[in-house]
Structure 1
Amino acid sequence: MTLTPRDGGPVMLTGELQPVSLPDGSAIKTMLYRADTRGPAPAIVVCPGGMGTGMFEIVEWAASRLRAAGFHALSMNYRGDLPTHDPDDISQAFDWLAEQPFIDPARIGLFGVSRGGNAALRAAASDHRFRAVATFGTVSDFLQQAYGTAAFAPARHRLITGWLGDPVTARSFYERIQAINHVQTIVQPLLLLHGEHDMHAPVEQSIAVRDKVMAAGNRDVTLELFPVLGHFGEVVPSGFAYDHLASRFIPFFREKLG
């Protein structure tokens, strides 16, 4: 049973299911969180992590807080278990949002966690319509994950390679889907949040993203590291830091999207 950190009960999704069409005639599932606003308002596409097609429950905490702050939010599923088409799916979500009368298409941002952070960075690199990007606990270098876990966490290594393939024989695939190979074309304001106790995506992955984006000429990049914070927002030894994280990315979006 999935639990919330707040009350120990089941996660209650508070958005509305919304299919978004793909060019091939299929559709992805999204969940819309409409803010109580008057006139067209900014929106955030929220990208979950995971090795499947995505779980809305993973980012309910972020989408619901964005809505309460006056942003419309659209949380994602992906078309497939593998992250091959994640940026394309995110761009389709942008297209759908831009057509809605309650959305200001000039003020759409991106927020992603874990795999969703990787997806958000890749989408931002190829689709400059997104005005601002924030991530938490981003897995930006799958090759580093695959090789680094081989001795440190063999079970995690088997999980990653069972998902993405052997990093030697499938190296070209890894390089195609990992954000670190694409972030040099990110021109938008970028906020990177990462826990120093993240045992799934080490902080070096966000540090490398910051350094590569800035080296390419984008100076509007902020990296914030949080002590005793883990990959899922958990605070060692107990509790979750969702409100604290939201206190960082909500002001960021307010400043960058207006």
Structure 2
Amino acid sequence: MILTPRDGGPVVLTGAPQSIALPDGTSLATLLYKAATEGPAPTIVTCPGGMGTGMFEIIEWAAARLCAAGFHVLSMNYRGGLPSHDHEDISLAYDWLAGQSFIDAERIGLFGVSRGGNAALRAAAADHRFKAIATFGTVSDFLQQAFGTAAFAPARHRLITGWLGDPVTGRAFYESIQAIDQVQNIVQPLLLLHGEHDMHAPVEQSIMVRDKVLAAGNADVTLELFPVLGHFGEVVPSGFAYDHLASRFIHFFREKLA
């Protein structure tokens, strides 16, 4: 029997490996999930979190459910450990998808979690070919994380600054990679999902995104907060809310990519 996270077992990846070429001659390792549909169908690019090059396991729950709902899915990886080029990698994924006969290039959306939410927001701001964006537990302001954890969670502060560097001397770098400084350019429909028990990316990270996108004139923004829900979709004190979360963004994508 294959165990799932709900059963307390390992995550089983169900997508098929697919390489996407990078400009320098190397390639991105992605996972492709083809829905059981006839003719070109809408597609979602799923963007995982993780401090390395991303972790497919983090977003398998969403990719598998989107595929079962009739969407083709491409699950991302990133070219480097730092998030400098995450948004560019996502745009390259669009280029590849648009060339596939089973893809409807006018109906491609983005879903991201944690670092992947940040990546999805940055990609949406820079590349308006993506038609709808949804995120869960987005880390949108790395500076807030770095400074905020210094006293509250010193170990996490060391983890973040060990990854991204000193937020004082490296402030310009932080500002270049964090979505909160770019989301004013998002014109697409946007759904922000966030757990109120998220101790990795506090709910303010999505609240600030909503407020900034609205202030820039995009009124098609929805923020939904979930009580007793953590960063990885875990429900306090036990279980996961994957089905509940998926019902929200699947409905959103069906409406916006119709």
Instruction: Normalising by structure 1, report the TM-score.
Output: 0.98
For the 8 Å contact 2:5–2:11, the answer to whether it is kept is no
Aligned to 2:175: 175
Deviation of residue 9 (structure 1)?
2.2
Aligned to 1:227: 227
Letter paired with 1:29 = A
Matched, 1:57 2:61: no
Aligned to 2:196: 196
Deviation of residue 4 (structure 1)?
3.7
Alignment partners' CA distance in 1, 2:59 and 2:144: 25
SS state at 1:44 partner: strand
Alignment partners' CA distance in 2, 1:68 and 1:242: 14
Letter paired with 1:105 = A
Deviations 1:172-212 (A, max 9, x none): 00000000000000000000000000000000010000000
SS state at 1:6 partner: helix
Matched, 1:91 2:91: yes
Letter paired with 1:102 = F
SS state at 2:5 partner: coil
SS state at 1:138 partner: coil
Unaligned ranges ≥5, structure 2: none
Letter paired with 2:88 = D
Letter paired with 1:63 = A
Alignment partners' CA distance in 2, 1:246 and 1:112: 12
Alignment partners' CA distance in 2, 1:35 and 1:69: 8
Alignment partners' CA distance in 1, 2:61 and 2:48: 11
Alignment partners' CA distance in 2, 1:6 and 1:202: 24
Deviations 1:51-95 (A, max 9, x none): 000111111100000000000000011000000000000000001
Letter paired with 1:244 = H
Alignment partners' CA distance in 2, 1:10 and 1:142: 30
Letter paired with 1:73 = V
Matched, 1:205 2:205: yes
Deviations 1:150-171 (A, max 9, x none): 0000000000000000000000
How many residues align? The count is: 256
Identity over aligned pairs, percent: 82
Aligned to 1:116: 116
Alignment partners' CA distance in 1, 2:182 and 2:26: 27
Unaligned ranges ≥5, structure 1: none
- CA RMSD for the aligned pairs? 0.7
SS state at 1:14 partner: coil
Letter paired with 1:64 = A
Deviation of residue 8 (structure 1)?
2.2
Matched, 1:247 2:242: no
The ranges of structure 1 where at least 4 consecutive aligned residues each deviate by more than 3 angstroms after the TM superposition are: none
Deviation of residue 10 (structure 1)?
1.9
Aligned to 1:159: 159
Matched, 1:12 2:19: no
Letter paired with 1:90 = I
SS state at 1:70 partner: coil
SS state at 2:80 partner: coil
Alignment partners' CA distance in 1, 2:13 and 2:49: 16
Alignment partners' CA distance in 2, 1:98 and 1:66: 19
Deviation of residue 5 (structure 1)?
2.4
Aligned to 1:30: 30
SS state at 1:130 partner: coil
Deviation of residue 25 (structure 1)?
1.2
For the 8 Å contact 2:45–2:75, the answer to whether it is kept is yes
SS state at 2:59 partner: helix
Alignment partners' CA distance in 2, 1:76 and 1:106: 19
Alignment partners' CA distance in 1, 2:59 and 2:9: 16
Alignment partners' CA distance in 2, 1:103 and 1:210: 30
Deviation of residue 7 (structure 1)?
1.7
Instruction: Normalising by structure 2, report the TM-score.
Output: 0.98
